[in-house]
Amino acid sequence: MSRSVVRLLTCGSVDDGKSTLIGRLLVETDSVPHDSIAAARFTRRSGSTIIAGEVDYSLLTDGLEAEREQGITIDVAYRSMSLRDGKRLIISDAPGHEQYTRNMVVAASRADIALVLVDATKGVRTQTLRHSTICAIMGVKRIIVAVNKLDAVEFSQEIYMQILNELTPLFSKLGMEDVRFIPMSALNGDNVTNKSLHMSWYSGETLLDAIQGWSPPVVSSSHTRMDIQLISRADEFRGVAGTVHGAGFGAGDQVLVLPSKQKATISKIITYKNDKATAGDLDSVTLVLEPDVDAARGDVIVNIDNPLEISNRYQAKIVWLHEEPLIHSRSYLLISGPTQVPATISRIKYALDVVSGEEKPAQNLQINEIGLVEIATDRPIALEQYAQSRQYGNFVIVDRLTQQTVGAGMVEYSLRRGSNITEQVYEVGRSDRAHQKSQKAQIIWLTGLSGSGKSSIANELAKQLFAQGAHAYVLDGDNLRSGLNMDLGFTPEDRAENVRRVSEVAKLMLDAGLIVITALVSPFEADRQRARSLVDAGEFTEVFIDTPIEICRQRDPKGLYKKADSGKIPNFTGIGQEYEVPRNPELVIDGTRPLLESVKFIMELLR
């Protein structure tokens, strides 16, 4: 299908001349209103050396007043122009500062062509390498390297070739096949839209030629799918609404609903105007299914003869965008289109050094780092390879507490073990086992600082429950670190994995019909919330043992505070590592009150 829009991303380091280059391109293709050009002749940035009366092209792309005051590009500025074949070129001018990498990543995820600028007077810089790597990872098909400001180095072919030879191995390693190098001067217009008269040694294309000569590659997909965006309900009516992608559906087609794999037949295809016999690529429709199967937002409708592979394990590249590092074993939200599912980074295989191209072992990813990871989702989802489908191969990672987007990911492939595992359903279930024990199965999650009294309270609570004939078991943090979790330390990553394992064991014991009491510091709110999310509402009770750290220090039953103060335990919670106070626990207990009184509060809550 012929595309009517081509998307161009401009990127590179600060002051490489992106805004000036795009401004000139727009002016020389008559894509800027004349009054804007007139304003750019007499408006000047602070410190500008451009003579009054000459056009300051950089002003034509910066959209924020803050950018003009600082002389930098902060946000992504969008402009458009017409190409000679009737297509529309959308230009995204990305910020060059490292702290705004997240803005650049968003623009790169939609770009067809990336224009990477390099200042000939400064050469290849770290941000040049980072942006080039991100563009390749985000699936940009053509990269144009504009070696800019050659007028400042007397149009030196030697400097141009040095930059070309430095970047070529990087693009080769990234697997980029369509890379064009163009020497130019954005300020003077050399090789922007017209051939330069100052570089007789260069006989290649201009920037405009390289843009207009691009054609989108044809990527064939045999799948037809519709991600459910909305469940449409009315009197005696229920349909699933979304946008169709692929060959299309027809009334009477048999389909599958994923991930549940329920079968149905399309009885009606409805648009806002009327009913249709078929729905083609990019049609927004409501499908009425027969029978009316249980489907929800984020589920996928596919043709029964050509189903998608679904999995709960994926390998993906991630660009980390947040000040707080990515921690494996911590639970985040993975969002792809209407699909939203809890997900855990189960393994960080490596972090990519954007300067050397080296793949380095890593325990976490820092802001703006790029890494290869393995992801486990709480339920199977239908993601595709990013190389085959940008739309269905991309996702964002969202912090479950702050709801901030912290990472952007691109699927490489699903892991075989994800599709090889099938959950077995047994006839004797949790409610049966709990009923046999005449009790309600639940998890009592005790959290607080070391020395707050968690283990003492857990012990007394278990005694009283036992005396009443209840079946309870205590999962104590230190006891588990002597066996199941003996391989874990006390870094944030290991603490997240410690809580993950304990919560999975607690879930199994809950399924056995037991009352499970956990007593471990579990310092991070996100990890505790992930534990809560594993079970149904009403089956998880968080109890915060609120004991001042001064009292914990005085008690110091294991001598840990003394060791932490001497530097022997650098990651000790409350001293070397933060404890995140629970936001909405079911119960807060003053850890300085008598033990029996504290247990009484919990027993009353259980009743």
State yes or no: pLDDT of 391 exceeds 70: yes
CA distance 414 to 311: 6
State yes or no: pLDDT of 501 exceeds 80: yes
Task: Give one DSSP letter per residue of 144-208, joined into a string.
Answer: EEEEE-GGGGTT-HHHHHHHHHHHHHHHHHTT---EEEEE-BTTTTBTTTB--SS-TT--S--HH
Nearest to 10 by CA among 77, 59, 68: 77
CA distances from 598 to 95, 428, 444, 477 (A): 55, 36, 14, 20
Residues 305-334 pLDDT 10s: 877 888 999 999 999 989 999 988 888 999
- CB burial of 551-575 (b: ≥16 within 10 Å; e: otherwise) equals ebbebbeeebbeebeeeebeebbbb
Q: Phi first, then psi: what are they for 163, rounded to 5°?
A: -65, -40
State yes or no: pLDDT of 53 exceeds 60: no
Token pair listed for 523:
């310092």
pLDDT over 70, % of the chain: 91
CA distance 516 to 458: 10
CA distance 313 to 347: 11
Q: pLDDT value at position 222?
A: 62
Ranked by mean pLDDT, which of 158-167, 232-241, 345-354, 405-414 comes out on top? 158-167
Please state the rounded mean pLDDT for residues 487-491: 88
Residue 175, number of CB atoms within 10 A of its CB: 9
Q: pLDDT value at position 64?
A: 46
Q: Residue 545's beta-bridge partner residues?
A: 589
Q: Quick one: pLDDT band at residue 288, thresholds 50, 70, 90?
A: very high
State yes or no: pLDDT of 60 exceeds 70: no
State yes or no: pLDDT of 339 exceeds 70: yes
Q: Quick one: pLDDT band at residue 70, thresholds 50, 70, 90?
A: low
Q: pLDDT value at position 19?
A: 80
Is 378 within 8 Å of 343 (Cβ atoms)?
yes
Residue 176, number of CB atoms within 10 A of its CB: 19
Identify the weakest region by mean pLDDT among 16-25, 98-107, 160-169, 472-481: 98-107
Ranked by mean pLDDT, which of 144-158, 354-368, 415-429 comes out on top? 144-158
Single-letter amino acid, residue 247 = A
Task: Give one DSSP letter per residue of 82-124, joined into a string.
Answer: E-TTS-EEEEEE---SGGGHHHHHHHHTT-SEEEEEEETTT-S
Token pair listed for 227:
């991600």
Residue 351, number of CB atoms within 10 A of its CB: 23
State yes or no: pLDDT of 65 exceeds 50: no
SS3 125: coil
Is 136 within 8 Å of 143 (Cβ atoms)?
yes
Ranked by mean pLDDT, which of 24-33, 39-48, 337-346 comes out on top? 337-346
Please state the rounded mean pLDDT for residues 376-400: 90
Identify the weakest region by mean pLDDT among 187-191, 488-492, 502-506: 488-492
Is 127 within 8 Å of 42 (Cβ atoms)?
no
Q: Which residues contact 343 (CB under 8 A, 6 or more apart)?
A: 331, 332, 333, 334, 375, 376, 377, 378, 397
CA distance 535 to 443: 9
Q: pLDDT value at position 603?
A: 95
Q: pLDDT value at position 100?
A: 66
Name the residue with higher pLDDT: 62 or 441.
441
Q: pLDDT value at position 1?
A: 38
Nearest to 295 by CA among 376, 232, 224: 232
Which helix H or strand E contains 333, and what residues bound it?
strand 331-336
Is 407 within 8 Å of 414 (Cβ atoms)?
no
Please state the rounded mean pLDDT for residues 429-445: 93
Identify the weakest region by mean pLDDT among 26-40, 247-261, 429-443: 26-40
State yes or no: pLDDT of 35 exceeds 70: no
Q: Quick one: pLDDT band at residue 45, thresholds 50, 70, 90?
A: low
Q: pLDDT value at position 51?
A: 60
State yes or no: pLDDT of 432 exceeds 70: yes
Crossing angle between the packed helical segments 595-606 and 454-467, to the nearest 10 degrees: 60
CA distance 412 to 285: 30
Please state the rounded mean pLDDT for residues 95-105: 71
Q: Phi first, then psi: what are they for 203, rounded to 5°?
A: -120, 15
Q: pLDDT value at position 13?
A: 83
Q: pLDDT value at position 598?
A: 95
CA distance 55 to 59: 9
Identify the weakest region by mean pLDDT among 90-99, 107-116, 117-126, 583-592: 90-99
DSSP for residue 55 = -
Catalytic residues: 522
Which helix H or strand E contains 245, and what residues bound it?
strand 237-245
Residue in this structure with the two tokens 């727009």, named with its chain if needed: 26
What domains appear along the chain, each with residue ranges and CATH number? 5-212 (3.40.50.300), 225-303 (2.40.30.10), 311-416 (2.40.30.10), 431-606 (3.40.50.300)
CA distance 263 to 593: 58
Is 575 within 8 Å of 516 (Cβ atoms)?
no
Token pair listed for 599:
């247990």
Q: pLDDT value at position 445?
A: 98
CA distance 516 to 309: 37
Longest Cα–Cα distance in the chain: 95
Q: Quick one: pLDDT band at residue 291, thresholds 50, 70, 90?
A: very high
Q: Quick one: pLDDT band at residue 220, thresholds 50, 70, 90?
A: low
Name the residue with higher pLDDT: 10 or 100.
10
State yes or no: pLDDT of 97 exceeds 70: no
Residues 229-262 pLDDT 10s: 999 988 889 999 999 988 899 999 999 999 888 9
Q: pLDDT value at position 68?
A: 44
